[in-house]
Structure formats: C-alpha cells, structure tokens
Structure 1
Amino acid sequence: MTIMAPPTLAEPPEEPERVWTCFAIGPIGDAFALPGSPEQKIYEDALEVFEHVTLAACRKSGINPVRADDLPGSGEINEQICRSIREADIVIADLGGGNANVMYELGLRHATGKPTIQLGEHSKLPFDISTIRTIRFVRSRGGLIKARKALEDALEAGIRDGFDVLTPARILRGQEVVSASADPVLAEDAQDAPGFLDEIALIETEMEAMTGDLGNILTSLEAIAALTTAFGPDMKRLSREGAPMSVRLAVIARCAAAISDPADDLEASATRFAERMQAIDGGVQGMLSIIATTPRDKRSEENVEFLNGLIELAAMAHSSAEELNEFGAIVDGVSGMSRQMRKPLVKISSAIGKMVFVTARINAWAETARSLLQ
C-alpha cells in the first residue's frame, strides 16, 4: 500500500504594499526673483516647509510628495494641478498665510472629500479655515521638527486606520458632521448653524452692501479732494507773500478740520467693506469650489450670474483702490507737514491699507470666476 503525501498548498501571494500618491499644495513664489524681494521670500519660506516638514515626514511612510513645480511633462500647468488635486491619494496643504491660489486649490480638494492634511504657521492662519484641524507650527528649527513629527503621526495613523474627512468636505458632500445623539449641546448649536441656502443669501446681501460701501468710499474721496483743492489757492498765495508760518499753519488746521468728517466716513466705509468681505469669503470660496466641480453643461444661470457678479465687484473695487492709491501719494507728501493734518491722514492711510488687502482677495475671486467662465 502506497501512502501519498498530501499536496503542498501554495501560499497565497503577498499583496503588494500600496504606494500612496501625494500632492503638496502651497505658495510657490519665484526662485529667480531679486534677493530680498517678497516673491523670493515666499519661495524660500514655502520650500523650507516642504523640505523640512512635508517631504521629510512623507519619506518615513514611503511617500513621494510632488509640488506643482515638480509636475513632469508638458501641457497646461493649471490642468495638471487640478488633476493632481483631484486624483492624489493624499493632499498636504501649506496654508501659507492665506495665499489666494492655495485657498482656491484647497477648496477644490475639499470638494473631493479625499484625505487632506493642513499645515499652518501660528498666528498666520486664514480666518475662514482657522477652526479646521491643522498642524500648527512656529517657524524655527524646533518648530519645524515638531511639525514634521506631527505630520509623520498623522500620516501613519491615516494609512493605518483611515483618514478623517474634513468638515468642509462633509458639508459639501451632504454628510452629517455631528450625530444628533452624540452631543446634545453641539446638536442644538448645529440646528442654528447657517445652511447652504443661508450662505448664498448672505453672499447676495453682503455683495450688494459692498457695492454701496464702494459708492460711499468714492463719495468720501471726492469730498476730501474738493476740500483740499479749495484750500490750495490760499496756501499758494501765502507762500508767494512770504506769510509767517503761523498763518500758514492756521490754514492747514482749517483744512484738517474740514476733511476730518469725510476722512472718518472713508475709514468707516473701508472697514465695513473689509468686514463684509471676511464674512462671506469662506462661502464664496465654497461656491467657487462647487461650481468648479460641476460639469459646465450642468451649471445653472445662477452660477453664471454669481461668477459675473464677482468680476463686476472686483472691477469696482479695483477702481476705488486706484483712486485711494493716488491719495496715498498725496498723504505721503504732506503727512509730516503738520500735526493737525496727521489725524485725518492716518485715517485715510488706514482706509488705503484695508482696501489694498480686500481688493487683492476679491481679485482672486474674480480670477477664479474668469477661469470658470472660459
């Protein structure tokens, strides 16, 4: 009798370890800009975070992160970036102080609902995403090391246990953020939180009000210009006649008193304009992200009107900012002439600063809107 040994069962082949793809978004700057220029500083700061935090942490998990300037091949860079944002397994975002391109790309990523990890320097997080879980760091050697370790832990836990979906992505995708039974206090608060239609209504209301603010800004500028022009002949006459400085200062004091009220109005209008922009910036970014992920033939007339409204608002803001900048040159020239003029001129300078900041953000909205209309 022959006893045959049972056939040896072949061991199942090991599944190949998954290779995660990662796209790093952040400010790019200009590596070839003049030394010490803002563009070069942006480049150097972003590269420092990428090399010492993102790249170093990813290597520990066998991940090779790619930046926009590392994308291979030819073709339109914007298309490559959008594809990378959509298709990468993981996106790591260096918030970079609220850089407009970063915010746009982050919005696109949120709409996908795919894993996203945010990095941000302490005290420099954009206000509209400061509540989203973010690895915060101080820009120092020790601070970057702590950020790298925090990112290593986040990647390790996400790869092992799965990544959490960020709150904006859950909202955009219609998923519940908080279970009603999980925390009755949070659930009660959530009932009072604005919904999607509430956000749209707020954007419409605030954009209309911002148009009114711009009108008030121009009215204040015209009043200041008219008043300063009216005092010009007196100053020239006193200068020709060699009048005592005390007499000239008296004229300057009257001019300062005359422009004080319109300067107050100008600063107040610029402040309201900036506050309205901040109130709707997150909603506008979300709307742009939704429209960007909606096929062109599925977009509604309201979508197109919204995009055109952003472009029109940017044009008006740009016009007002240009007039304010012209005033800025005048302010720089006379700010040291008299302490009486200093108070209204400080208010004018404050309005200029607010408008420069707000116009830059609104221009970013408009650039995105134009790209979506093309």
Structure 2
Amino acid sequence: MSADTPKTCGIIMPISSCPGYTEEHWVNVLNIIKEAISKTEKFAPVPVWLETKTDVIHSTIISNILKCDIIVCDMSTNNPNVMYELGLRMTMRKPVVIIKDDMTKAPFDTNVLRYEQYPKDLHYYKIEAFIKKLREIITDTWKKYSDDPESFTQLINLDDYKKYKIVTASGEVEEQTVQDAIKSIYQIIRKSTHNPSVANIDLTELSSAKWEVKSARDAFKKTFQEIKDKLLDDLNHSDATETLRTQTTEQIDSILMGFEVFEDSLESLFKAIEDVVNG
C-alpha cells in the first residue's frame, strides 16, 4: 500500500429493520459513521458486508473484518450477527472502535471495553458532536496501535483487571484481581474447616453456589469452544491468508490458556468448599 493510498476502516453494524429500528435508520447511521471516518483524512470507510472481489457475501465479510486496518462496530440492539463479527475481530491484535446508541444496554462492563454513545433519535447537534468525537477516537486508537502493534490488545486481561473488593482480617478494603479474590475466599474457607465457629456459613447455600458456578463455567467453556470452531471454519472457507488464520488461531488459544489459569483457581475454591461442606 503506497503512502497516498488511504488505509481502510471497516464498518460492522446492523443493516436490517427490527423492532424500533427501520432500514432507513441504519442507512442514516451508516452515513454518519462514514462521515466521521472520512474526516480523519486517513481512512476510507468500508462496510464489511459490501461485495468487493468475491461473489460470496459471507466470505467478503470475514475477509474485510480481518483485513481492514481498523474497525468501527455499532453494537446497537445487540444484534447477534454484529456481536459475532465483533468477536471475530477481537481475536486479532488489530484495533476496533465500539459505538452504540443511547437506548441499547451494553452487554459488558464499561471497564472491560470502551464504547462511545450516540443518540438513537440522531438529533442533529448531538450527532455533530458525536461525529467529532468518533473521528478523534478513531485517530487516537490507530495511533496507539501503530506505536506498538505487537503489544496492542483490547481484550480483557484477568491479571490486570481490578474489580473485586475484599475486606481483610484487619478490616481494610483491598481491590484484588479475579484470581487474588478467589485465593482470599479460598483461605477463608480453609481456615473455617479447622475452626468452623469462626465463620457463620450456610453449608446448603455454599454447596448450591458451588454448583451454580460450576454450571456457569461449563456453559462458558462449551459456548467458547463452539465459537472457536465456528470462527476457524469460517476462516477456512474465506479468502483470508494463512498468516491471518495463524494469528487468529493463536489469539483464540491465548484466550483459552488464560481461562485455564482462571479455571485452576476455581478448582482450588471448589475443593475448599467441598472440604467444608463434607466436614
């Protein structure tokens, strides 16, 4: 790609009518996103569903999602196809900017992934401000990626993600990672095994909670494996390069490895709970 050739900014978004949204609405949203992208003066907008070099629409979508330099994804309405395409993009170490309207509830914690919001009614003055903001975010996100593409990631890192507040024995409140929080709970339960009187534990509720967590864990593993199989199957039937296939596979395997570490901590917690419940 020559220096004069603009880089590509893919667009992932709903395009079909659904309750509360018309096709005309999505056409207007698409034009708004295109305007923001064009105003960066660095990127050419590329709706990922548009046919380019292939007659297979699905293959075109997969190829564009993987090849575009940066992606803007509108997850308004939490459209399943959009969420699937966002998941595919997120397996790559390539930048994505997420947006949604103000009537859609985000399916994840804002601390995990950042998104920019726009008014569903597409009010002129608010949209003007949104276009300016989106242009800035696209530019800033690209700069962060281009400065250090090897370490760039927008996926949650459980080692760094601070969420849980644990009250220590001294009464102090500490923020801990998921793994550290589980270890703290594990230690509390282990101590109660040797001295049950120090903790007022409802063993029935504790046992029930353990099985609920196990079920949720098993359901997550099953769903993620299905997503992995689907992604790899789509990649194998697309015109993606071998390098892209390898990068995607490595990213998916990295996520699975991270979950396995988390799962080891869960197993220790389950064992401690069983020790308490079984006396």
TM-score range, shorter chain: 0.5 to 0.7
Superposed displacement of residue 167, structure 1:
2.6
Q: Is the 8 A contact 2:48 2:65 kept in 1?
A: no
| DSSP-derived class of the 2:137 partner | helix
Q: Is the 8 A contact 1:27 1:43 kept in 2?
A: no
Residue of structure 1 in register with 2:130 after alignment: 147
Residue of structure 2 in register with 1:89 after alignment: 69
Residue of structure 2 in register with 1:328 after alignment: none
Q: Does 2:118 match 1:137?
A: yes
Q: Distance in 1 between matches of 2:226 and 2:103?
A: 26
Q: Is the 8 A contact 2:100 2:117 kept in 1?
A: yes
Q: Distance in 2 between matches of 1:202 and 1:133?
A: 29
Equivalent in 62, 87, 111 of residue 107 of structure 1:
87
Residue of structure 2 in register with 1:205 after alignment: 215
Q: 1:84-136: per-residue Cα shift (whole Å, max 9, x none)?
A: 11111111101121011101111111111310100111241342365520001
CA separation of 1:123/1:16 partners in 2, compared to 1, >3 Å: closer, same or farther?
same
CA separation of 1:205/1:127 partners in 2, compared to 1, >3 Å: closer, same or farther?
same
Q: Is the 8 A contact 1:95 1:125 kept in 2?
A: no
CA separation of 1:202/1:115 partners in 2, compared to 1, >3 Å: closer, same or farther?
farther
CA separation of 1:138/1:43 partners in 2, compared to 1, >3 Å: closer, same or farther?
same
Residue of structure 2 in register with 1:290 after alignment: 228
Q: 1:160-201: per-residue Cα shift (whole Å, max 9, x none)?
A: 343762234x57xxxx5459xxxx95544553379xxxxxx9
CA separation of 1:204/1:22 partners in 2, compared to 1, >3 Å: closer, same or farther?
farther
Letter in 1 for 2:181: D
Residue of structure 1 in register with 2:198 after alignment: none
- Whose Rg is larger? 1
Aligned residues: CA RMSD: 3.8
CA separation of 1:146/1:74 partners in 2, compared to 1, >3 Å: closer, same or farther?
same
Q: Distance in 2 between matches of 1:91 and 1:79?
A: 17
Residue of structure 2 in register with 1:58 after alignment: 37
Q: Distance in 2 between matches of 1:293 and 1:203?
A: 27
Relative to the length of structure 1, the TM-score reads 0.42
Q: 1:303-354: per-residue Cα shift (whole Å, max 9, x none)?
A: xxxxxxxxxxxxxxxxxxxxxxxxxxxxxxxxxxxxxxxxxxxxxxxxxxxx
Equivalent in 161, 165, 168 of residue 153 of structure 2:
165
Q: Does 2:11 match 1:24?
A: yes
Residue of structure 2 in register with 1:45 after alignment: 25
| DSSP-derived class of the 1:119 partner | strand
The structure richer in helix per residue is 1
Residue of structure 1 in register with 2:190 after alignment: none
Q: Unpaired runs of 5+ in structure 1?
A: 1-14, 31-37, 195-200, 209-279, 300-374
Relative to the length of structure 2, the TM-score reads 0.55
| DSSP-derived class of the 2:16 partner | coil
Q: Is the 8 A contact 2:54 2:60 kept in 1?
A: no
| DSSP-derived class of the 1:72 partner | coil
Q: Is the 8 A contact 1:108 1:292 kept in 2?
A: no
Q: Distance in 2 between matches of 1:42 and 1:284?
A: 35
Aligned residues: 189
Letter in 2 for 1:167: L
Q: Distance in 1 between matches of 2:62 and 2:89?
A: 9
Q: Is the 8 A contact 1:111 1:293 kept in 2?
A: no
Q: Distance in 1 between matches of 2:116 and 2:215?
A: 35
Relative contact order, higher structure (CA 8 A, sep 6+): 2
CA separation of 1:61/1:79 partners in 2, compared to 1, >3 Å: closer, same or farther?
same
CA separation of 1:17/1:72 partners in 2, compared to 1, >3 Å: closer, same or farther?
closer
Superposed displacement of residue 19, structure 1:
2.8
The structure richer in strand per residue is 2
Residue of structure 2 in register with 1:121 after alignment: 101
Q: Is the 8 A contact 1:91 1:117 kept in 2?
A: yes
Superposed displacement of residue 288, structure 1:
4.2
Superposed displacement of residue 287, structure 1:
4.3
Q: Does 2:180 match 1:191?
A: yes
Counterparts of 1:347-366 in structure 2, within 5 Å, are none
Superposed displacement of residue 64, structure 1:
1.4
Q: Distance in 1 between matches of 2:19 and 2:60?
A: 23
CA separation of 1:69/1:178 partners in 2, compared to 1, >3 Å: closer, same or farther?
closer
Percent of aligned pairs with the same residue?
A: 17
